[in-house]
Structure 1
Amino acid sequence: MEVVQQDRCRSSLNGKVRRKSKMKILKKLKPEERGLTRTLWEQVFTEDTKEFLDYYYTEKTKNNEIYVIETDHDIRAMMQLNPYVIQMGKKAIESRYIVAVATEPLYRHRGYMAELLSKTARDLYQQKMPFFFLMPASEKIYYPHNYRFIYAADVWSVKGTDGEELTIQKIVELQNDSGVTLRKAEGKDCKKLGDFAEEVLEKQKIQVYTKRDAAYYMRLLKEQESEKGGILIAEQDGEMRGILVFDEEDGLAVREPLIRKGYEDVFDKAGVILKKEEKKKPLIMARLLNIESILSSMVCREEMDLEFVLYDPVIRENNRLFMLKGNEEHLVVRTRTAHTGKDDAVQKISVDALTSIVFGYKELEKIEEEEKEIFSAEFKEEISKLMPFSPVFINEIV
């Protein structure tokens, strides 16, 4: 728990002015206190239904972390961290999905959100967590806090064979002679869903994704059902060939079609025409945390030898000289304190630019332009030998 400041206010007593102290406290809630944040959620995120919040505060708060700022023993701002296991290359790592960043309207524009973002970043750095991530309401909110996009999602629409609007009820009643059957997933399907998703993502060579298992799909199924949705399964010859996540809160919307290679037309055959829009939608932003940890998880395309000095305005422990040396078989990452004078000629780079490089979201020239940084020819040559964590596939809602 941190006492982060004292606010002063004036009150009058017997004609005299008295200064009264109001303590502001930033803390992480105990498990039994997490439900206290529901009132703030309902006040700020008015679009969320009772059914969804019942699901969230039953399932997601079982093992998440919630940081809050209190004054007068009342919660004024919050930030929730939902745990996910992320596959990064060949390693599975712990990460956190930031959701429900909210401040009571009367307490906005006081820097509360910035304090929560900084505190959580420093805490997770100490846990050697490589990064955490969020789905921003607006990029402008998080950009100043060192968050950068790492994933742009495909946007899908769904129609019938004649272009007609579909509902899930219509879909599961479709008759065809293709041998493909469509049905809504049930709890008993969750183990197979997890195995299927892991197989498809691995074969697609996705480098960063949330690990899928029976528990993952059981939670996702409950989440979708709380929003008048679910998971649709396409089967052929008794085998799972494709799945997609859907909801019907405002017409039929789909996301995350996962289809086994060689069966790309499995939904089309059943009368459900999936159309992928030409333009992707920037969806997930990330903030690098423990730089040494994430760099140590990377591999090289060829022999490399690189030095750079990192600047991180929040996690001061990251402000070091990084020395990377390796080849196709292994990468060694060493660090030391950067020294004025001795290291003046070494390439300087911000944590913001490094985020875009690590996840391969943008070309180096574009990063230089947007971050207003200049990379030397030697730096560009050597950093390009690192294999970025790309492609990324993270599109969870909470």
Structure 2
Amino acid sequence: MFKQQIKELWGLCFNDSEAFTELYFTHRYNNEVNICIQSGEMVISAMQTLPYPMTFCNNTIPTAYVSGACTHPDYQGRGVMRELLSQAFGRMQSQGVLLSTLIPATDYLFDYYKKSGYAAVFDYMVETLLPEDLSYGKKDLKIASSAEFQEDVYAYLAAKMEERSCCIQHTAADFKVVLADLTLSGGEVFVATSGKSICGIAVAYSKEQTLQVNELLTDSNEVEQALLLAACERWNCRKLSVIRPYKQEANRRRLGMVRIIDAKRVLQLYAAANPQVEMNMELTDSLLAANNGYFYINNGKCMKSEERLPGSHERLSIEALALKIFLPLKPYMSLMLN
């Protein structure tokens, strides 16, 4: 019902290519994940809340990634998007979603989304290399490349990404969309095998003679270098730009934000994974009343009370709580359609 209107609104608000827009509305958009606000019969603001699993505190939890958030230019600055976010949060909470994530399209939007409880916690680094920096001597490796979906390649990617303790995961269906988007860029997935076993993959494409590597998962540094060299040779690239989880503060770049939707469940998981932590807090959330209250963490348990118990309390906004919990965990997201 709304698909064509929202597609037209997308075209008005974003500068995406026609090919990407078609891909998104063919493979990503559906009415179940869409939420919008109308003025009369006209859709004036819309977003999609895409489901993604995420590893967190020794569990895999449901999250919703906000995609395509936009408001018609004639209605911007009137609080329409804030109202839409509020409605989306309520729906997420009713669906059992624990967290919402997003990637702001521009720097100034970090401050905008902060006002709705999002915290900037997803970071990354870019490593710049030259082909002559790479070398390997492993002779039994075979490297092939393709943009087609392969079950064993996906299984390797999923297993490696699950090893990251706080990371957005990709389902098989989602990885197929990632590959479709990669094809639009002329990219491929490079796969290293030793014997019959996959030992590394690189998701890459070439842009202006620079190898852009969006994900690199391997069993060893030797395999990593072999994959990067093979990809460089494939497109005769003069340098490499590799996106990775950041290691040092000096290399850290902002990417995405998280918003806690169900504070009690998030804190219960956090407490169970950190039994040494003791915390008394007064939590405030202006958009989700169910998150307001007093929370007590002790001996791996979390209790919520509507009334304040004796003792000192730390007063936290929902955004401050997200920073407190997630920044030390160095959460990571990659291969998102942003």
Per-residue CA shift, 1:124-146, capped at 9, x if unaligned?
12333211100112212212222
2:164 aligned with 1:206:
yes
| Alignment partners' CA distance in 2, 1:257 and 1:64 | 32
Per-residue CA shift, 1:337-359, capped at 9, x if unaligned?
135xx668422222111101111
Higher relative contact order (CA 8 A, sep 6+): 2
Q: In the TM superposition, what are the counterparts of 1:328-343 in structure 2 within 5 Å? A: 331-339=300-308
Structure 2 counterpart of 1:141, which letter? Y
From the superposition, tell whether residues 358 and 64 of structure 1 become closer, same or farther in structure 2 (CA, over 3 Å).
farther
Per-residue CA shift, 1:284-309, capped at 9, x if unaligned?
10111110011111234444443211
2:111 aligned with 1:140:
yes
Structure 1 counterpart of 2:125, which letter? D
- Of 283, 305, 308, the residue aligned with 1:310 is 283
Identity %: 20
Q: Equivalent residue of 1:258, what SS?
A: strand
Match of 1:185 in 2: 146
Q: Aligned pair count?
A: 317
Match of 1:154 in 2: 125
Q: In the TM superposition, what are the counterparts of 1:83-98 in structure 2 within 5 Å? A: 83-98=51-66
2:98 aligned with 1:130:
yes
- Of 32, 44, 61, the residue aligned with 1:76 is 44
Q: Equivalent residue of 2:327, what SS?
A: coil
Q: In the TM superposition, what are the counterparts of 1:1-398 in structure 2 within 5 Å? A: 32-46=1-15, 48-62=16-30, 65-137=33-105, 138=107, 139-157=110-128, 159-161=130-132, 178-189=139-150, 191-202=151-162, 205-248=163-206, 252-261=211-220, 263-268=223-228, 270=230, 272=232, 274=240, 279-298=251-270, 299-326=272-299, 331-339=300-308, 345-361=312-328, 390-398=329-337
| Alignment partners' CA distance in 2, 1:181 and 1:112 | 54
Bigger Rg, which one: 1
Q: Equivalent residue of 1:145, what SS?
A: coil
Per-residue CA shift, 1:152-197, capped at 9, x if unaligned?
112244643389xxxxxxxxxxxx99454443234352x2122212
Answer whether contact 2:36 2:46 (CA < 8 A) is retained.
yes
From the superposition, tell whether residues 271 and 109 of structure 1 become closer, same or farther in structure 2 (CA, over 3 Å).
closer
| Alignment partners' CA distance in 2, 1:265 and 1:246 | 14
Higher helix share: 2
Answer whether contact 1:185 1:231 (CA < 8 A) is retained.
yes
Structure 1 portions without partners, runs of 5+? 1-31, 164-175, 362-389
Q: Equivalent residue of 2:280, what SS?
A: strand
Per-residue CA shift, 1:253-306, capped at 9, x if unaligned?
221211223534332554747565862321110111110011111234444443
| Alignment partners' CA distance in 2, 1:97 and 1:179 | 41
Answer whether contact 1:157 1:254 (CA < 8 A) is retained.
no
From the superposition, tell whether residues 301 and 294 of structure 1 become closer, same or farther in structure 2 (CA, over 3 Å).
closer
Answer whether contact 1:192 1:214 (CA < 8 A) is retained.
no
Structure 2 counterpart of 1:259, which letter? T
| Alignment partners' CA distance in 1, 2:203 and 2:19 | 18
From the superposition, tell whether residues 133 and 160 of structure 1 become closer, same or farther in structure 2 (CA, over 3 Å).
same
How far did 1:243 drift? Answer: 1.7
| Alignment partners' CA distance in 1, 2:263 and 2:133 | 52
Q: Equivalent residue of 1:161, what SS?
A: helix
From the superposition, tell whether residues 343 and 110 of structure 1 become closer, same or farther in structure 2 (CA, over 3 Å).
farther
Match of 2:235 in 1: none
CA RMSD of aligned residues (A): 2.8
| Alignment partners' CA distance in 2, 1:42 and 1:271 | 34
